[in-house]
Chains A and B, each alone.
Chain A
Amino acid sequence: MAAEIHTTAPTISENAAESTFQEVDDRDRAIPAIEFRNVVLAFDDRVVLNKLSFKVMKGETKIILGGSGGGKSTIIKLVLGLLKPDEGQVLVDGVDITNYSEQQMMRVRKNIGMVFQEGALFDSLSVYDNVAYRLHEQGVPEDEVEPEVRRMLRFVNLEDAIDKMPIELSGGMRRRVGIARALVGDPKIVLFDEPTAGLDPPTARTICELAMKLRDLEDVSSIFVTHEMNNVQYICSEYAVVDEDGKVIFEREGERLCLTNSKVMMMREGKIIFSGTDEALRRSEDQYIQRFLRGH
């Protein structure tokens, strides 16, 4: 299946037409949270991203699949401005950040949450200080910091670990603390860089549930980089709702509701080889995709 390639700056109405949402509620929602336009990036002679174009709309989760070295994590680094493209444009909330300086990017990054592969927690800081990091840097008074840190740790079910050091946490707990840290300040964009890699299936499921909660209950736009198909199955076929008792439960899409706010994008050698729904991905006849899905 062909990739979405945009060669000219799209108007708002064009953005709206390509949104996974069937109905666009206002002009602001029609502006993509993240947009890549013909992005090219090479390290020495190796082209990592080759004329990459795609959009992530407001409230949408874009799952990026692909083998190792395919350029998946590079996309996230470009959104954060940790890398700069050789060609093309990167837009966040409709603003072109391609040529932003490090100082300008600092302001953009304050509105984006990032969950790293291994959590990337600061070893010398406790769980509390890790989660409170962004607030401490902004000089927020301590009496406002603690309730916010506890709220975030409750969201990831880790309030009991507040005084622990990162070394005392399991791999899954580290990722969840990483998610709590990324969510401080309620960012409307969250980037997940292989957050379930190397985790046991129940813990990986917990991480996916957190991503679903963010998508369905917090209206967060996200990029979820992974190479595990069970992540795709969870995120594309289940959704989070709050039941009558106020508890968050997860239901499968079916006759009552069909999820349209999650899309899959598959990459190979820096190019998009598929973009669409998980059902379309499974139906694809591309040999690489079929081998990826089967695992052999």
Chain B
Amino acid sequence: MNFATRALLELQETTLLAARAFGGVFKRPRYIPETIAQMDAIGVGSLTIIILTGFFTGGVLTVQTFPTLKAYGAQSQTGYLVAVSLVRELGPVLCALMVTGRVGSAISAELGSMVVSQQIDAMRALGTDPIRKLVAPRLFALLVSLPLLTVLADVLGIFGGWVTAVALYSVSSSVFLSAVRDAITTDDLIGGIVKPIVFSLIIGTIACRQGLSTEGGTVGVGRSTTRAVVMASIIVIIADYFLAKALQVILGTQ
């Protein structure tokens, strides 16, 4: 089987997995406790890395852009640049990449271990659909958690930029915050929410698909985990490019 056929087959299987997971959301039994547990593991569990990533990304944006803006006499626009960069691009993408590394790998490894230890077969043998029991709660938890984590990363990034601008470059607090207010439009906020929703679908379906298709014992678990993280990261970045353009066209901001 050549690369193109394999890629198409993989795309088909991943899409079918997502469709079956969402198809099962509205049927009984509903796995509400599992979904809440996954929201805790994915959302609450990722808070620390998102707080640190968001804060320092905002800070470093100020560090890198303030000297350039100052050279053109536009240092008052530092808040504008930090806010636009974070809300439109860095917040959703960095957040998705951090969650891919932490959550995508964990999902793939957990499901892969369950496959090689025959727990998935046991689940099916006991009359449970593993897609509804394992995949749907993880996908739903990611769909809820990633947009919220992205908003948090955006806010903390702007906070990090503000702290850096005020403390290191003596930018007036009101000037920075006024530029931030001018920068962010409703379209940016819509884009900042749509992107993480799409990214969560990408991360969740790829991680679950790779985990459930694990073959070859414990070595296979390692392989599928690596594949899940690499594939999800690359596809998130590629999808971000097309989403950015699509949102510009849809929202009329091009």
B117, B119, B122, B125 pick with most chain A CB within 10 angstroms: B125
Q: Which of B97-122 contact A (CB under 8 A)?
A: 113, 117-119, 121-122
Q: Please, which residues of chain B bring their CB within 8 A of the CB of A134? A: 126-127
Measured in the bound complex, the distance between the Cα atoms of B208 and A8 in whole Å is: 43
Interfacial residues of chain B within 192-219, with CB under 8 A of chain A in the complex: none
Whether A82 contacts B124 in the complex (CB less than 8 A), given A117-B118, A120-B119, comes out as: yes
- Does residue A234 face the partner (Cβ distance < 8 Å to B)? no
Q: What separation, in Å, do the CA atoms of A123 and B50 have in the docked complex? A: 29
Query: With contacts A137-B29, A139-B29 known, is A122 near B127, CB below 8 A?
Result: no
The number of A-B residue pairs with CB atoms under 8 Å apart is 52
Return the contact of A122 from the options B119, B124, B125, B129 (Cβ within 8 A). B119
Interface residues on A, range: 20 to 34
Q: Is B128 an interface residue (CB 8 A)?
A: yes
B residues in contact with A137, CB < 8 Å: 29, 126-128
The reply to whether B29 and A114 form a contact with Cβ atoms under 8 Å apart is no
Interface size on B, residues (CB 8 A): 14
Contacts of A109 on B, CB cut-off 8 Å? 124-127
Q: Which residues of B contact A106 (CB under 8 A)?
A: 127-129
A137 to B123, CA, bound (A): 10
- Residues B126 and A116 in contact, CB atoms below 8 Å apart: no
Cα distance A8–B113 in the bound complex, in angstroms: 43
Given contacts A80-B124, A82-B124, A139-B29, contact A120 B129 (CB under 8 A): no
Name B residues whose Cβ lies closer than 8 Å to a Cβ of A.
Answer: 29, 113, 117-119, 121-129
**Extra contacts besides A106-B129, A120-B117 (8): CB < 8 Å:** A80-B125, A106-B128, A118-B118, A122-B119, A123-B119, A133-B128, A137-B29, A139-B29
Q: List 25 A-B contacts (CB under 8 A).
A: A80-B121, A82-B124, A102-B129, A106-B129, A107-B127, A109-B125, A109-B127, A114-B126, A116-B118, A116-B121, A116-B125, A117-B118, A118-B118, A120-B119, A120-B121, A120-B122, A121-B119, A121-B122, A122-B122, A123-B119, A133-B126, A134-B126, A137-B126, A137-B127, A181-B126
